């Protein structure tokens, strides 16, 4: 049985209860983070906590904890859920707490803080061997997609459209420009160069995305932030989607058409190797 953290207590998931008046439940008034833990080491903790600060600033909600306090809670949750030595995905959520239903903020705010751990399932070998299918979808979300908001209804609707089309992800576009995936960032390889959309309010600044850019720069690979049009997406030799839980997934079919030769590409393979090396270092505490 998993142990979760809720408002100062560590308790079995089944015993954790929140008020039906919680503004997270009623208005989706809150933000979240998903942080992988490999061999009990949290990946890029400082960057995740910085993004949490940015998301909280974005919704004008004070962070109830400083980074040291967050680290203590997250490390305790990792420890309490590590009996099987599995890699974990740590989910944390902060909402504006329980209050009488009124759209404007309550005068007194007591944030609800929730943290849980789930075993991180390895990406299936079949997906690494053959890649996955993706569809394209008009980005129907609001204009503050850089905030890691718990209001994920548009993302869930678009991911479901993908699933019903037999695809693993929906790649989103706004005004003919690729933004990101329904729950991932997007990279393409075009004319041998690795490209990903620039950070702005149209996409979540993914921690995996930044790590890939860093690994590419350290390895001397040609990797740049750029505007990516739908035509560039369709002409790409390779497409990848990246996230904390899916790492780097090769997309080999887009809207039913083969991407490149329809197999995961060599640039992806090289990047995945480098990412695995990074994870191995993290497991031994030699990277953060």
Question: What is the contact surface with ligand PDD in residues (CB under 6 A)?
Answer: 34, 155, 180, 183-185, 204, 206-209, 242-245
Q: Which helix (H) or strand (E) holds 89?
A: strand 88-95
The nearer residue to ligand PDD, 260 or 274, going by C-beta atoms, is 274
d(CA 148, CA 288) in angstroms, rounded, equals 22
What's the min distance (Å) between Cβ of 108 and ligand PDD? 30
Q: How far is the CB of 240 from ligand PDD (least distance, A)?
A: 12
Q: Are 171 and 233 in contact (CB under 8 A)?
A: yes
CA distance 267 to 252: 13
Q: Give the chain's radius of gyration (CA, Å).
A: 19
End-to-end CA distance of the chain: 28
Q: Tell me phi and psi for residue 6, to 5 degrees.
A: -140, 115
- Closest contact distance (angstroms) between CB of 20 and ligand PDD is 24
Distance between CA atoms of residues 229 and 226, nearest Å:
10
Residue 54: CB atoms within 10 A of its CB come to 14
Please identify, using beta-carbon distances, which residue of 97 and 206 lies nearer to ligand PDD: 206
- Taken as a whole, the chain contains a residue count of 288
Report, in Å, the least distance between residue 162 CB and ligand PDD. 13
Alpha-carbon distance of 146 to 40, in angstroms, equals 28
Nearest residue (CB) to ligand PDD, 48 versus 260 = 48
Contact in structure between 170 and 144 (CB atoms under 8 Å)? no
Nearer to ligand PDD, 98 or 203 (CB): 203
Distance between CA atoms of residues 27 and 272, nearest Å: 39
DSSP secondary structure, 101-145, as one string? S-SSPPSS---EEEEEEEE-PPPPHHHHHH-EEEEEEE--S-S-T
**Closest distance of CB 185 from ligand PDD, Å:** 5
* Least Cβ distance, residue 126 to ligand PDD (angstroms): 21
Pick between residue 137 and residue 260 the one whose CB is nearest to ligand PDD.
137
CB of 183 to ligand PDD, least distance (A): 4
* Nearer to ligand PDD (CB atom), residue 111 or residue 196: 196
Nearer residue to ligand PDD within complex by CB, 180 or 238: 180
């Amino acid at each position: 049985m998993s142990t979760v953290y809720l408002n100062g207590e560590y308790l079995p998931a089944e015993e954790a209860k929140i008020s039906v008046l919680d503004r997270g439940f009623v208005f989706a008034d809150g933000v979240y983070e998903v942080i992988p833990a490999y061999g009990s080491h949290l990946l890029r903790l400082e960057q995740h906590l910085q993004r949490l600060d940015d998301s909280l600033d974005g919704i004008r909600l004070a962070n109830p904890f400083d980074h040291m306090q967050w680290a203590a809670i997250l490390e305790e949750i990792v420890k309490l859920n590590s009996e099987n030595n599995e890699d974990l995905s740590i989910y944390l959520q902060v909402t504006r707490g329980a209050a009488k239903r009124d759209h404007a903020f309550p005068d007194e705010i007591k944030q609800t803080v929730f943290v849980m751990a789930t075993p991180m399932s390895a990406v299936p070998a079949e997906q690494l061997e053959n890649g996955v299918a993706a569809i394209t979808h008009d980005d129907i979300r609001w204009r503050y997609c850089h905030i890691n908001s718990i209001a994920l209804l548009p993302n869930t609707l678009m991911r479901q459209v993908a699933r019903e089309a037999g695809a693993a992800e929906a790649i989103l576009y706004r005004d003919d420009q690729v933004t990101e995936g329904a729950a991932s960032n997007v990279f393409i390889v075009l004319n041998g160069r690795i490209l990903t959309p620039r950070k702005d309010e149209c996409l979540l600044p993914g921690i995996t995305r930044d790590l890939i850019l860093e690994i590419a720069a350290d390895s001397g690979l040609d990797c740049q932030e750029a505007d990516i049009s739908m035509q560039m997406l369709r002409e790409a030799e390779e497409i990848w989607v990246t996230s904390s839980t899916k790492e780097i997934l090769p997309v080999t079919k887009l809207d039913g058409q083969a991407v490149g030769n329809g197999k995961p590409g060599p640039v992806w393979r090289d990047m995945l190797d480098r990412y695995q090396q990074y994870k191995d270092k993290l497991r031994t505490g030699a990277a953060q």
